Amino acid sequence: MTRVFVSYSRRNTNFAERLSRDLSDAGVEVWIDFRQIHAGEVWKEEIRNGIERSEVVVVVLSPDSVGSEWVRYEIEYAREHGKGILPVMAVDAMGVLAANEALRWMLDIHFIKFENRYEQAFPELLRALPGKRRVSAFDSVDPAKIPNPFKGLEAFQQTDSSFFFGREQLVKKAVGVLKPGRPKRFLAVVGASGSGKSSLVRAGLIPQLRAGAFPGSETWRVAILTPGENPVQALATRLAPFFSEDVDADTLMRVLHDGQNGLHDISMQIMDGAPDAAKLLLVVDQFEEAFTRATEAQTLHFIDLLRAACIAPNGRTVVIITLRADFFDRLDRFPLFAELFEGDHLLLVTEMTPANLLRAITGPADAVGLLYDDGLPDRILEDVRRQPGSLPLLQYALKELYARRDGRRLTNAAYDAIGGVAQALARHAEGIYRSLNGSQQDIVRRVLLRLVEISEDGDSTRRRVARQDLTFVGASAQTVSEVVELLTAPESRLLVTSREQRLGRGRPRGAHP
């Protein structure tokens, strides 16, 4: 996952909040002060640490930021540490930039203009991130710097669209459902666990819409959320960055709780002044959380909000949900909502055909200039076909194959060494587990059990847990932290962590602009 530090003036806080949220939605690990700095921390030190741990610094340019001594410090510190600089123009600052001797060199860097074209500019920013575009015939390929195009156990994100292959027909079908002129602006993407529902929406469908899959789709505004324990709160928190500083999540919560048309009303405010073809695309990923983590009353109100917004005449909200197939029967309790799933508004993500599986194997490698040994793609394909539902195992095996590449080549010898599709993940996990002492192994078991949630009906779903809530009787906080760090480290990646966005207004930088 690409790590990005966002540098900005506090006078551009609203823009920076929206940009950081959209980058997070796109699969980027974002460092921004109001999310990362907590009470009691030394903020200057935390900012320097944030820059050092990031790969790229995105600089929000405006007359205010060009004149900010602290923004200039962040830029200089990033350059001293060899970090890439990606300037984005939030407010025209060409004149003040040219007059600023310390920062005039930035005029030689290609910048991305966001002013009055945010939705068109955002995909340009994603493509500018390192290692996120396909190589072309005009690119030289350094074997040591080839990015990893395989996702392992993680979902593909918008930033991975260049490496997403095998679902082209489903994406095309989804685009057709979302074209304007339909009475229901709704799509349910349903499939088994591990079938690639989230990847299809995030890496396949959204990038197509942003690229102008049909006239006007490039102007759509996109918001992604998961329901969690309070789906209405999650909705309000996600929509707040679209507004100015006098509207926060609590304000939106009051609107959302004031009848079932709250989301429609908020959407119309967000889209006020946007091009006529523009819509607010609301993606509710892992929708099953609304059934397993929220109360039934919360779920019913959340569903009513979504339904009213996507059927309102002349409404501007488009709703996409991803749902595990084994929760489909829960719709019986919400018959009006279930009507939205009728016809082609229900997209089933089924097993991939052999031809599509082969594209998923060879396409990402071709995109970055990797080469397979003769016959290896067919070997991998045959192993996958023997194990239905093994798409995550395939991606993990390919990720391990990349780690053992010989220059540009993915080899048969490396595939044998990892144990193929069937054994790559099991051997990796078992190796990590056996390397731990008895107390650490006990913590691993307890952590994994904490990450599974069983509903009253006996259904199991993965559960997101706050890091500070991983406490266990008889285990020190330091030992638990060490085990979690081991399981989430890049070389193990058995667990995935992320920071929740905490919306805040202004910067924790005292009087600095």
Q: What is the CATH class of 167-349?
A: alpha beta
* Exposed e or buried b per residue across 385-394, where buried means at least 16 C-beta atoms within 10 angstroms of its C-beta: eeeeebbbbb
Give the pLDDT confidence score for residue 485 in this predicted structure.
Answer: 78
Which CA distances in Å does 223 have to 150, 261, 353, 372?
Answer: 25, 18, 31, 38
Q: Which amino acid is at 502?
A: R
Q: Is the CB of residue 285 less than 8 Å from the CB of residue 498?
A: no
Say if CB 376 and CB 411 are below 8 A apart.
yes
Write the DSSP symbol of residue 406: B
In the structure, what pLDDT confidence band is assigned to residue 503 with cuts at 50, 70 and 90? very low
What's the pLDDT band for 452 if we cut at 50, 70, 90? confident
CATH topology for 3-128 is Rossmann fold (3.40.50)
Least confident of 167-181, 211-225, 441-455: 441-455
Q: What is the pLDDT of residue 362?
A: 97
Given pLDDT bands bounded at 50, 70 and 90, which one contains residue 83?
very high
Looking at residue 216, its amino acid is G
Answer whether residue 312 shows pLDDT above 50.
Answer: yes
User: pLDDT band at 481, cuts 50/70/90?
Assistant: confident
> What does residue 112 show for φ and ψ, rounded to 5 degrees?
-105, 125
> Do residues 183 and 151 make contact, with C-beta atoms less than 8 angstroms apart?
no
102: Cβ contacts below 8 Å, ≥ 6 apart = 72
pLDDT in tens, 356-410: 999 999 999 999 999 999 999 999 999 998 877 778 889 989 999 999 999 999 9
pLDDT class of 30 with cuts at 50, 70, 90 = very high
pTM of the model: 0.84
- In angstroms, what is the C-alpha Rg of the chain? 23
Per-residue pLDDT at 504 exceeds 60:
no
Distance (Å) of CA 197 to CA 94, 141, 151, 286, 324: 43, 32, 14, 9, 8
Q: How far, CA to CA in Å, does 343 sit from each of 186, 198, 287, 304, 340?
A: 11, 21, 20, 20, 9
Q: Closest by alpha carbon to 93, among 83, 85, 103?
A: 103
* Alpha-carbon gap, residue 60 to 23, rounded angstroms: 13
Asked if residue 167 lies in contact with residue 174, where contact means CB atoms within 8 angstroms, the answer is: no
Confidence band of 268 (pLDDT split at 50, 70, 90)? very high
Predicted confidence band of residue 457 (pLDDT cuts 50, 70, 90): low
For residue range 195-233, list pLDDT tens digits in order: 899 999 999 999 999 999 999 999 999 999 999 999 999
